[in-house]
Amino acid sequence: MTDFTIVLRSLSLRRFSTTVTVTMVAVSVALLLVLLAMRDAGRAAFRRGTGNVHLLVSADSSPLVAVLNGMFYANAPSQPIDWAAYMKIREAFPWSWTIPTQLGDSFRGSPVMATSKEFFTNFEPVLGQPWMFVAGKAFEAPYEAVVGAEAARVHGLKVGSELVLAHGVGTASGEAAHEHDDHPVEVVGILAPTGSAHDRAIFTSLETGWCVHAEEARLKEAAAANPGEDDHGHLHVAAEDLRDSEKLITGILLRVPTRPGEQVSSALPVAFDLLRRQFPFTVAQPAQQVGRLFEIVSGVDTLFIAMAVAVMVAGALSVMLALYNSMDLRRRQVAILRVLGASQGRVFGLVLAESAIIGLLGSGLGVALAAVFGTVASAELQRRVGLVIDPTMDLRTIVLCAAAATFLACAAGIVPALRAYRTAVVQGLRPLG
């Protein structure tokens, strides 16, 4: 009988404790691998959403809030920017392009952004990857909409579908603050997936948002001025009838000129400083703010990884306790091995081999669990926030985590191995009871 056969039989005789111990090691390895993979993939996913924008102008309270609201649809910006201010910003610098945006409406929980046609021709949701349509085209007239890939999937939308947008952030069930039910919007295009938060958004023209809100505001004004009349519902506001005060936006996407093939320009600091000095708005560099976001959460990130390492150490301790406690029941087995000619060193090695096999089995199972957990977490993040998190784990990280778990299991096996090493033959062969 080989040593390997002896070890396997010993583990099989203690199936329950072996299974529990292997599971604890597997969970600790899986937890650590998922956290490490999600940390790196999450950073990459957030950087995807900023695309080729250099600057974002908003009336939000801080640059980070402006980026989270304006590019990741966290909330609707609380304060608007009037059209006159946008025109001044547009003329203040020789921009490569400027794109106004308006947030504040939704469709069954999906954010709605009103913007210009340049959003689809100039803005790249992912750097170097322009928008692609799987069906239809960009909007060309008021009351037309383009739908992100995830929003189309969730709501079952296709070209020709009609939407009733709602003012404010609604819910997936359709509950919202106020629906614009007099102004259905027709879907004219479906976007290809980009792996960014834009996939869960719906896009309409600025004129659509302006006309709907202007009409509702004028109806309220008319009702307040003539409370006895009941024919205000026939009021209709066309794009050419809009007042300057009704042309409001919530953000401006800006890009400074760059040399062919380059993404960064030496003019960016100049443009950034000019906007901060001359205009009373928040100016943000989206890529920089994403980096700042991860600096803020880095402490929590480190804490989670430390907790995963602690769980791994706890798994190693469980290996030690399981083997150590089994020594009382295995004294006779150890003594018989010694009588048959096994040296103390060989017995020591057999117990260490058991702990190593537990570590290897736990590591292998942990890698498999990490792949499953990562896929589930990625799908859930995509469903909830539209971000595509690639759960693929780096081979080097997998090997290091598996090796660390196996090493800890072996180290934990030293104590019970020493106990087996010191077990006296005479003591082990005494009659039970």
* Segments making up each domain of the chain, as ranges: 3-45+297-428, 55-284
pLDDT of 286: 92
The answer to whether 329 and 14 are in contact (CB under 8 A) is no
**CA–CA separation, 54 and 66 (whole Å):** 14
For the residues 227-255, what does the mean pLDDT come to?
A: 76
Residue 339 pLDDT > 60: no
- Residue 41's nearest CA partner among 400, 377, 398 is 377
Q: Report the chain's mean pLDDT, rounded to a whole number.
A: 82
The answer to whether 356 and 413 are in contact (CB under 8 A) is yes
pLDDT of 392: 74
What's the token pair of residue 238? 């066309």
Element (H, E) at 147: strand 144-147
Q: Which residue has the higher pLDDT, 234 or 147?
A: 147
Residue 141 pLDDT > 60: yes
Q: What percentage of residues in the chain have a pLDDT greater than 90? A: 35
pLDDT of 330: 63
pLDDT of 421: 60
The answer to whether 364 and 25 are in contact (CB under 8 A) is no
- One-letter identity of residue 110: S
Instruction: Give the long-range contacts of residues 396-400, CB within 8 A, separation 24 or more.
Output: 397/33, 397/36, 397/37, 398/33, 398/367
**CA–CA separation, 317 and 298 (whole Å):** 28
The answer to whether 192 and 132 are in contact (CB under 8 A) is yes
Query: CA 10 from chain center: how many Å?
Result: 45
pLDDT of 180: 59
**CA–CA separation, 324 and 417 (whole Å):** 8
Write down the pTM of the prediction. 0.74
Task: Tell me the sheet residues that pair with 110.
Answer: 107
Give the number of residues written for the chain. 433
Residue 340 pLDDT > 50: yes
For the residues 86-97, what does the mean pLDDT come to?
A: 95
pLDDT of 272: 95
Q: Tell me how many degrees the CA angle 376-379-381 measures, rounded to the nearest 5.
A: 110
Question: By CB neighbour count within 10 A (0-12 exposed, 13-18 middle, 19+ buried), where does 413 fall?
Answer: buried
What's the token pair of residue 262? 């380059």
pLDDT tens-digit series, residues 28-49: 899 888 888 887 777 777 777 7
pLDDT of 173: 47
Element (H, E) at 54: none
Residue 234 pLDDT > 90: no
Range in 68-72, 277-281, 311-315, 377-381 with the lowest mean pLDDT:
377-381
Angle between helical axes of 298-326 and 414-422 (0-180°, round to 10): 20
Residue 171 pLDDT > 60: no
Task: Tell me the sheet residues that pair with 185.
Answer: 163
Residue 15 pLDDT > 70: yes
For the residues 61-89, what does the mean pLDDT come to?
A: 92
pLDDT tens-digit series, residues 252-293: 999 999 888 777 888 999 999 999 999 999 999 998 998 888
For the residues 371-393, what does the mean pLDDT come to?
A: 75
For the residues 125-137, what does the mean pLDDT come to?
A: 92
Q: Which residues contact 179 (CB under 8 A, 6 or more apart)?
A: 164, 165, 166, 167
Q: Which residues contact 356 (CB under 8 A, 6 or more apart)?
A: 406, 409, 410, 413
